[in-house]
Amino acid sequence: MAIELKGLTKRSENYSQWYNELVVKADLAESSAVRGCMVIKPYGYAIWEKMQQQLDKMFKETGVQNAYFPLLIPKSYLCREAEHVEGFAKECAVVTHYRLKNAPDGNGVIVDPDARLEEELIVRPTSETIIWGTYKNWIHSYRDLPLLVNQWANVMRWEMRTRLFLRTAEFLWQEGHCAHATAEESEQRTVLMINTYADFAEKYMAMPVIKGVKSANERFAGAINTYTIEAMMQDGKALQAGTSHNLGQNFAKAFDVTFVNKENKPEYVWANSWGVSTRLMGALIMTHSDDNGLVLPPHLAPIQVVIVPIYKNAEQLAKISETVNPIVEELTRLGISVKYDDSENKRPGFKFADYELKGVPVRLAIGARDIENGTVEVMRRDTLEKQVEPLQGIVPFVASLLEEIQENIYQKALKQRESMTRTVETYDEFKEEIEKGGFILAHWDGTPETEDKIKEETKATIRCIPLDGDTTPGKCMVTGRPSARRVLFARNY
Amino acid sequence: MAIELKGLTKRSENYSQWYNELVVKADLAESSAVRGCMVIKPYGYAIWEKMQQQLDKMFKETGVQNAYFPLLIPKSYLCREAEHVEGFAKECAVVTHYRLKNAPDGNGVIVDPDARLEEELIVRPTSETIIWGTYKNWIHSYRDLPLLVNQWANVMRWEMRTRLFLRTAEFLWQEGHCAHATAEESEQRTVLMINTYADFAEKYMAMPVIKGVKSANERFAGAINTYTIEAMMQDGKALQAGTSHNLGQNFAKAFDVTFVNKENKPEYVWANSWGVSTRLMGALIMTHSDDNGLVLPPHLAPIQVVIVPIYKNAEQLAKISETVNPIVEELTRLGISVKYDDSENKRPGFKFADYELKGVPVRLAIGARDIENGTVEVMRRDTLEKQVEPLQGIVPFVASLLEEIQENIYQKALKQRESMTRTVETYDEFKEEIEKGGFILAHWDGTPETEDKIKEETKATIRCIPLDGDTTPGKCMVTGRPSARRVLFARNY
């Protein structure tokens, strides 16, 4: 796991290459021997674990419980909900056999032709079908509702063009699948979860998002309504960071899941599903990082503070450690994860560059002279600013600096988004502006045809119909027909 | 999710049926539409999550980091380590295609014959091969070692006869894969992890285990040595609860993973792997539970204390709640998970039976008379004993009762094991005793042939060569040849 510190492409030179290199150089993930599948390395996985733990806590606070459903789904299940299979599940890994055997030529193993499955099984691309197939046995009466279940799992979609974290054949995610007695309650839960995602994105990832509703074209296959949170990356492209789908009674009807309501009448169950994935890792990296490497929000950084001793001999190191150890203890007691890197086989300059690359929010460097002066050098990763601070009171100083960094990178990302969000009136203007990147708010007549035309001609899609913001009606920039309100356009990941 | 409280088969009638029914009735898991794959229901998953969290903490305390490797493994990888493929990976789910398409007759979807993979992929039965294929790029120098990595994942083995938790086609587990610079260090880690598993089993699951080494016959395919922890179920059968494998340099050689050692010479890396799975859920259930349902150790119970109010009207309930709420708060502050079940649509008797079935360690019942008297009825699940206690001081009383229950069920299981462990001298005696169930310590000549003969004739296997206990040499009960020490025999799950 040697660290390659040099030669990170600059964002201004080639943003896409900068991202690809950074993911690998910062030890987050790498491609595997299996096409399109990634290995998430320990440092990358530690960030994902922090995301998971926080999200899991937030879900549970809303009453959600975790469960686990099978990885493999019978092929026939996918066809039950007509739109679902049409829009969704064709590119997937198909299990056809259940046994290997020794090759007759003695060379390795072959698939045993006698071990063919009667019905092929699909590695889950998402679990609505298997879960609603199961809920049929769990739900009988309104007393069994609501059923608020989440699953942390791996899923697979046979993507042709893959990029680490952003689009991989296998990825990790959570998928919530709730069942309700009324349409209103299900809609409330759908909105609650998109709000939960937005809170998580803003408070933990320090990533501002726009909440909105997808157009029919961009809706989840089988949903009656899809809510989304959309973030802007530093190159001005949009990234869909989480979705929450109101499924109406579609899956309940497809899998015949009814309940006896309070009036003692059978009724189909109301459903929603919602998910975020390891794609959030890509969003996190692209929102904050710079030409020196990762910039991590303190609330998700596996190491929040690193302390590097600068010494010439064992005696000096011993003195420094004497001062540093109580600081480490105090920070730890405050719940701050701190690493004292007194390893001897790397020079301080190498350590500095490495922790910068890894995005550690705060670095303290302390030498023999500092001990004499009662000072310490503090470097904050977001601005790369250094300052000398008194050792006295350094613990509360660091604690408050971490919060300051969290807020600062959020505000920086918000300003960047605001500076790259424009309102346009005409389609010509739109075509010109979309080339510059960023978000464009424009009027649209609400038809899939117009949306398709815009996408074809400009590669921009409707990211969402924002929940907040200007709701003044107007005229579609393409057709001149009436538009209920401006919608958000962008090119996207 | 209606609860079926009645009709749990008694252990003495049919132990196996008792287990199957209990798993379903206590809402832990159920079979799915996919042959051999289970659905882990929220209550069962909550127990597994507690196990996961504790194990994860214990692993990290020894320096282990988590990572994630691909679900699918190229078929050719399995053949690289000759013993591994021979002993292991034949019965597995094989992915041969990556696309479905609409059926020509318009009826559902079929596998697209044009989307055949060049090389088939296997759903991982275990990940040594893909991980050692990856480590080749991670390890170059002794400075990269040790590499201490764990993965929480789903795996799949196409078992023909499955039982919920004990043996399922898909199961959840963790697999640790460590790389070391020396044979000694790798052996130390292998032993450290079996000790970690034993600690977890005894302190959290309250399940006594015997640590030992597997005979060559029972060793993991590709290992030079396998350590195991073996537990005894209430029916006297053994259950292998966790294993830790010293892999020597076998996988490093198969995947050509070398490092430059301190003497600047290339050397193959030393490896070990270790794992426990959702099988532990089966072990937990079968160690402690009784004819009334689950008995959970307080350290792993999702609900440690349930409080049931007994009331006739809203006024009484309000008074009881006034007393109970501060108790709930205090217990919660101590980190004790407590549920105040004041739901109105179930009678107290139903609640009592339900929480007994679910194995909640302590139940408090409190009525209007109790409020007057300043008392509360306490029921402990392990002995089903009830006692009336003063409300004053109930919180510390409950806290210490939970620890007492934890210790009591451990001691009970230990006594049961001791009473069912015998020493025999002759093979005739062995054949007679093995029919009664339990563990038998006997002399064995150390050959696979003798072991095979015993297995064939008695269905008993060598569970392990215990690390502790009597090491007096003797003569093999079957062949009369010299035996280094007694080994542990049992029939097993």
pLDDT digits (tens, 9 = 90+) for B457-483: 999 999 999 999 899 999 999 999 999
User: Is A96 within 8 Å of chain B by CB?
Assistant: yes
Q: Which of A100, A123, A343 would best serve as a mutation to test chain B binding (most B beta carbons within 10 A)?
A: A100
Which residue does chain B place closest to A148, by CA atoms?
Answer: B42
**What's the maximum distance between 2 C-alpha atoms anywhere in chain B?**
82
Beta-carbon-side half-sphere exposure of residue A388 (alpha carbons within 13 Å) = 8
Task: Work out the number of other CB atoms within 10 angstroms of the CB of residue A432.
Answer: 11
pLDDT digits (tens, 9 = 90+) for B88-116: 668 999 999 999 998 888 888 999 999 99
Q: Cα distance from A315 to chain B (closest Cα, Å)?
A: 25
Which residue does chain A place closest to B81, by CA atoms?
Answer: A108
Q: Which of A34, A59, A86, A358 would best serve as a mutation to test chain B binding (most B beta carbons within 10 A)?
A: A34
B2 vs A contacts (CB less than 8 Å): 140-141, 144
**Which of these, A68, A109, A162, lies nearest to B77 by C-alpha position?**
A109
Asked whether the beta carbons of residue A46 and residue B39 sit closer than 8 angstroms, the reply is no
**Which of these, A19, A15, A10, A27, lies nearest to A354 by C-alpha position?**
A27
Please report, for residues B27, B248, B483, the alpha-carbon distance to residue B82 in angstroms, rounded to integers and kept in the order given.
Answer: 42, 14, 31
Asked whether the beta carbons of residue B144 and residue A2 sit closer than 8 angstroms, the reply is yes
Which residue does chain A place closest to B36, by CA atoms?
Answer: A70
Q: Cα distance from A7 to chain B (closest Cα, Å)?
A: 20
Asked whether the beta carbons of residue A74 and residue B38 sit closer than 8 angstroms, the reply is no
> Would the CA dihedral through A423, A425, A429, A431 be positive or negative?
positive
> Can you tell me the distance from the alpha carbon of A44 to that of A264, in angstroms, rounded to the nearest whole number?
52
- 3-class secondary-structure state, position A470: coil
**Which of these, B261, B197, B201, lies nearest to B226 by C-alpha position?**
B197
Q: What is the dihedral of CA A80, A86, A89, A90, to 10 degrees?
A: 120
Please report, for residues A197, A328, B122, B183, the alpha-carbon distance to residue A97 in angstroms, rounded to integers and kept in the order given.
Answer: 39, 55, 10, 39
Q: Cα distance from A451 to chain B (closest Cα, Å)?
A: 27
Asked whether the beta carbons of residue A94 and residue B100 sit closer than 8 angstroms, the reply is yes
A136 vs B contacts (CB less than 8 Å): none
Q: Which of B28, B39, B343 would best serve as a mutation to test chain A binding (most A beta carbons within 10 A)?
A: B39
Asked whether the beta carbons of residue B153 and residue A153 sit closer than 8 angstroms, the reply is no
* Phi, psi (rounded to 5 degrees) for B245: -110, 125
Structure tokens at A344: 């001897």
- 3-class secondary-structure state, position A193: helix
Q: Which of B75, B109, B117 would best serve as a mutation to test chain A binding (most A beta carbons within 10 A)?
A: B109
Predicted confidence at residue B106, as pLDDT, reads 81
A32 vs B contacts (CB less than 8 Å): 69-70, 130, 134
**Which of these, B118, B77, B76, B78, lies nearest to B97 by C-alpha position?**
B118
Stretch B285-300: mean pLDDT:
98
Q: Is B57 exposed, middle or buried (0-12, 13-18, 19+ CB in 10 A)?
A: exposed
* Phi, psi (rounded to 5 degrees) for A229: -115, 130
- Contact call for residues B396 and B380 (beta carbons, < 8 A): no
Reported as type and span, the H/E element at residue B402 is helix B394-419
pLDDT digits (tens, 9 = 90+) for B346-375: 999 999 999 999 999 999 999 999 999 999
**Which of these, A15, A20, A430, lies nearest to A233 by C-alpha position?**
A15
Asked whether the beta carbons of residue B78 and residue A100 sit closer than 8 angstroms, the reply is yes
Its pTM surpasses 0.80: yes
Predicted confidence at residue A1, as pLDDT, reads 39
User: Is B82 within 8 Å of chain A by CB?
Assistant: no
Q: Which of A94, A130, A177 would best serve as a mutation to test chain B binding (most B beta carbons within 10 A)?
A: A94
Cis amide leading into A146 (omega within 30): yes
Predicted confidence at residue A80, as pLDDT, reads 85
B90 vs A contacts (CB less than 8 Å): 99-101, 109
A69 vs B contacts (CB less than 8 Å): 32, 39
Stretch B422-428: mean pLDDT:
97
User: Is A68 within 8 Å of chain B by CB?
Assistant: yes
pLDDT tens digit at each of 493 positions of chain A: 344 556 899 999 999 999 999 999 999 999 999 999 999 999 999 999 999 999 999 999 999 999 999 999 999 998 887 777 776 668 999 999 999 998 888 888 999 999 999 999 999 999 999 999 999 999 999 999 999 999 999 999 998 899 999 999 999 999 999 999 999 999 999 999 999 999 999 999 999 999 999 999 899 888 999 999 999 999 999 999 999 999 999 999 999 999 999 999 999 999 999 999 999 999 999 999 999 999 999 999 999 999 999 999 999 999 999 999 999 999 999 999 999 999 998 999 999 999 999 999 999 999 999 999 999 999 999 999 999 999 999 999 999 999 999 999 999 999 999 999 999 999 999 999 999 999 999 999 999 999 999 999 999 999 999 999 899 999 999 999 999 999 999 999 9
The ipTM of this complex is 0.96
Q: Which of A45, A49, A97, A98 would best serve as a mutation to test chain B binding (most B beta carbons within 10 A)?
A: A98
- 3-class secondary-structure state, position A79: coil
- 3-class secondary-structure state, position B33: coil
pLDDT digits (tens, 9 = 90+) for B381-404: 999 999 999 999 999 999 999 999
Asked whether the beta carbons of residue A45 and residue B34 sit closer than 8 angstroms, the reply is no
Predicted confidence at residue B85, as pLDDT, reads 73
Predicted confidence at residue B1, as pLDDT, reads 39
Of A1, A78, A134, the CB nearest to B109: A78
B159 vs A contacts (CB less than 8 Å): none
Asked whether the beta carbons of residue A98 and residue B91 sit closer than 8 angstroms, the reply is yes
User: Is B121 within 8 Å of chain A by CB?
Assistant: yes
Structure tokens at B431: 């054949």
- 3-class secondary-structure state, position A430: helix
Any idea which residue has 């990533």 for tokens? A207
Any idea which residue has 């859920």 for tokens? B281
The yes-or-no verdict on residue B50 having pLDDT over 90 is yes
- Contact call for residues B29 and B278 (beta carbons, < 8 A): no
- In eight-state DSSP terms, residue A8 is P
> Can you tell me the distance from the alpha carbon of A143 to that of A282, in angstroms, rounded to the nearest whole number?
41
A65 vs B contacts (CB less than 8 Å): 42, 45-46
Which residue does chain A place closest to B71, by CA atoms?
Answer: A170
CB pairs under 8 A between A and B: 197
Of A2, A74, A100, the CB nearest to B90: A100
Looking at every residue in chain B, the average pLDDT score rounds to: 95
**What's the maximum distance between 2 C-alpha atoms anywhere in chain A?**
82
- Contact call for residues B477 and B450 (beta carbons, < 8 A): no
Predicted confidence at residue B469, as pLDDT, reads 86
B26 DSSP β-pair partners = none
Asked whether the beta carbons of residue A95 and residue B1 sit closer than 8 angstroms, the reply is no
- Contact call for residues B300 and B358 (beta carbons, < 8 A): no
Chain A (152-171) residues lying within 8 Å, Cβ to Cβ, of chain B: 153-154, 156, 158, 170
Predicted confidence at residue A89, as pLDDT, reads 62
What is the percent of chain B where pLDDT is above 90? 92
- The radius of gyration of chain B from alpha carbons, rounded to an integer in Å, stands at 26
Of B91, B92, B109, the CB nearest to A75: B109
Q: Cα distance from A330 to chain B (closest Cα, Å)?
A: 19
> Can you tell me the distance from the alpha carbon of A129 to that of A74, in angstroms, rounded to the nearest whole number?
9
> Can you tell me the distance from the alpha carbon of A29 to that of A45, in angstroms, rounded to the nearest whole number?
8
Asked whether the beta carbons of residue B100 and residue A77 sit closer than 8 angstroms, the reply is no
Would you place residue B2 in the very low, low, confident or very high pLDDT band (cuts 50, 70, 90)?
A: very low
- 3-class secondary-structure state, position A439: strand
β strands within B322-451, DSSP E: 338-340, 362-367, 375-380, 386-390, 421-423, 439-443
Predicted confidence at residue A65, as pLDDT, reads 98
Asked whether the beta carbons of residue A170 and residue B100 sit closer than 8 angstroms, the reply is no
Which residue does chain A place closest to B138, by CA atoms?
Answer: A1
Stretch B197-219: mean pLDDT:
97
- Contact call for residues B363 and B379 (beta carbons, < 8 A): yes
Structure tokens at B258: 């070398």
> Can you tell me the distance from the alpha carbon of B340 to that of B325, in angstroms, rounded to the nearest whole number?
8
Q: Cα distance from B489 to chain A (closest Cα, Å)?
A: 31
> Can you tell me the distance from the alpha carbon of B199 to that of B491, in angstroms, rounded to the nearest whole number?
24
Q: Cα distance from A103 to chain B (closest Cα, Å)?
A: 11
Asked whether the beta carbons of residue B33 and residue A122 sit closer than 8 angstroms, the reply is no
Q: Cα distance from A145 to chain B (closest Cα, Å)?
A: 9
